[in-house]
Structure 1
Amino acid sequence: MPLHPEIAADLARAAARGEPPLKDLSAEAGRARAEAEPRAAGAPVKAVETIAIPVGSGAIKARVYRPFGEGDILPGIVYIHGGGWVLCSLDTHDNVCRNLCASVGAVVVSVDYRMAPEHRFPVASDDCLAAVRWVAAHAGDLSIDPAKLIVGGDSAGGNLTAVTALRIRDEGGPTLAGQMLIYPVTDDIAAGHPSYSEFAEGFGLTADDMAWFWDHYVPDPADRTHPHASPLRAETLAGLPPALLLTAGCDVLRDEGEAYAGRLAAAGVTLDFRRYEGLHHGCAGDYGRLKAVAPFFDHIVTWARAIFRL
């Protein structure tokens, strides 16, 4: 199915700017461009606070979003932003986190994990695992119900979400109520999933972009098949928490995400999976700006509220 006309027109406007491809940019230049991209404003929330979470011998920032409404103790979402493990920030995904907070009625903790190339694999994974464990341990201080805690993310953040769920299963908790996987990276780029060829150019995220990301995050090809880089390569997915996995129909990452969904289902993991035809990679950030994205984002909200029994 082709791109939704609204999405196609939006991508055409972006292409008309004539910006150089990501592969021709340094990490610093790529970050500057990502930060400058226009985004829809997020929904109003009751409060936003920046905190520090200890990781290893240092600390990372996180941003805590609190919704309006009743209740002293609320469900929690630890959100891990995308950006190929190299780009994006708490600011680029502020709208996504605000919309989740307001629509789900949950406290959202957005994690500012350390990124490549300054911090290569597996630093981002270590940071995200530490952040989820810290949030679970400090749930009372954050007014979060520890029995209603999910981890979620988009793209590379979806990758880190899947890896965090695997590591929590294998490395001693805490218990998660669910995992939210939004068009996630799940496999080594060398695997040759067909969607890499079908959507290599002209759909936003390109195959060359993904090669650039992998080269920055996991430069040694021998490390790229490790399950903490490519969760599709995990020996088993049994015993993982309930999962939402959404793919965009016109996305280089579509097929590896759907392969992961297939393995989750085969392993007996409770799964809510859907491909949204006509949408492209990164569409969650366009909620509120492009009408075509509304069903996609509404699906995320409906799933989270069901997990939390709201």
Structure 2
Amino acid sequence: MSLDPSAQAHLQRLDRLALAQLDQLSPVQARAQSRWLRAQLQASPAPADTAPGRLQVQDLRIPGPAGMLAVRLYRPAEALAAAGPWPGCLFFHGGGWVLGDLDTQDQECRMLAVEAGCVVVSVDYRLAPEYPFPAAPEDAYAATAWVAAQATAIGIDPARLAVAGMSAGANLAAAVTLMARQRQGPALLAQVLMVPVTHHHFDTPSYRQCAEGYDLGLRSMRWFWQHYLARPEDGLHPWASPLLAPDLTGLPPALVLVSQYDPLRDEGVAYARRLREQGVEVHTVFHLGMMHGFQGPEAIWCVIRYLRTRLA
């Protein structure tokens, strides 16, 4: 199947913006470009289902493993008007562990809160290279543990808690499930992995097929990993490469979303397969014609429907 017309139009728009290649930029420059790009792409009005009045958004600072962490709570109107507790979902943004902040997937978090009927907690974890691995997974786990411990105070049912993320954020969500199993909590009902990074490895058919021309490519992923890891051998750690975890039994049910024209496609499929082989309930959604970072509106609705079911 050829590239979806909407994804092709997105690529054409990126071409007109004449962005610099990531591997030509420092992390500081790349972050500035990323913020500028987000402003260009979000120039259109917010969807009606995320309009003010349908949810409450609150920024907080919580204890982290190396200081305070910023988080953003999204509470749907129903959770404010009716007695709880409500399901909760930790969300970790994408950006290759180097880029991104609480605004990166703000619209997606708003839609999840309103349409899935859950309290979403987005986490501003520490970024590399200033804070290399394992700072990000430790922050992600600390935020998850804090939400579980403070669930009653923030209107969340600790027995109905999920983790979710996009790309590098999906990598962190997967790492949190491994850490929670190792550290005996908190209990998680689901993990949502949207186009996840699961392996510090570049020799797959999808990497060869999508090395360039589809926004995210081989050069960008090498750049991200180079900045994320203090030492190349850290990429062998299961919290960096969940696909290399020797044991995946007992992990929470998973929704794994992959896109056809994505260098990460094959490692996402491989992780879903390994989870399933080790007894984890897995639902895999393959988005034909789509690419990394542009899965189309159906992707977020897949997540919404899944969370509605898993956290009911």
Corresponding residue for residue 32 of structure 1? 32
Deviation, 1:103, is 1.1
Indicate whether 1:47 and 2:56 are aligned: yes
Equivalent residue for 2:273, pick from 262, 267, 272: 262
Root mean square deviation of aligned Cα? 1.2
SS in 1 for 2:266: helix
Corresponding residue for residue 254 of structure 2? 243
Corresponding residue for residue 135 of structure 2? 123
* In structure 1, distance between residues paired with 2:6 and 2:60: 38
Q: Deviation per CA, 1:194-232: give whole Å up to 9, x if none.
A: 111101111111111100000000142211111111000
Indicate whether 1:78 and 2:80 are aligned: no
Corresponding residue for residue 88 of structure 1? 100
Query: Pairwise mapping of residues 1-310 of structure 1 onto structure 2 (< 5 A)?
Result: 1-37=1-37, 38-39=41-42, 41=46, 43-44=50-51, 45-69=54-78, 70-72=81-83, 73-190=85-202, 192-283=203-294, 293-309=296-312
| Structure 2 portions without partners, runs of 5+ | none
| Structure 1 portions without partners, runs of 5+ | 285-292
Aligned 8 A contact 2:260 2:289 in 1 = yes
* In structure 2, distance between residues paired with 1:147 and 1:244: 19
Deviation, 1:96, is 1.1
Deviation, 1:35, is 1.3
Q: Deviation per CA, 1:8-62: give whole Å up to 9, x if none.
A: 0111121122221010011011111111222263512421111111112411100
Aligned 8 A contact 2:167 2:197 in 1 = yes
* In structure 1, distance between residues paired with 2:63 and 2:2: 45
Aligned 8 A contact 1:49 1:64 in 2 = yes
After the TM superposition, which segments of 4 or more aligned residues of structure 1 sit over 6 Å from their partners?
none
Q: Deviation per CA, 1:219-248: give whole Å up to 9, x if none.
A: 422111111110000001110001110101
- 1:174–1:233 Cα change, 3 Å: same
Aligned 8 A contact 1:189 1:210 in 2 = no
* In structure 2, distance between residues paired with 1:221 and 1:189: 11
Percent of counterpart pairs with the same letter?
43
Alignment coverage as a number of residue pairs: 300
Aligned 8 A contact 2:256 2:272 in 1 = yes
Aligned 8 A contact 2:30 2:99 in 1 = yes
Aligned 8 A contact 1:189 1:211 in 2 = no
Deviation, 1:156, is 0.2
SS in 2 for 1:16: helix
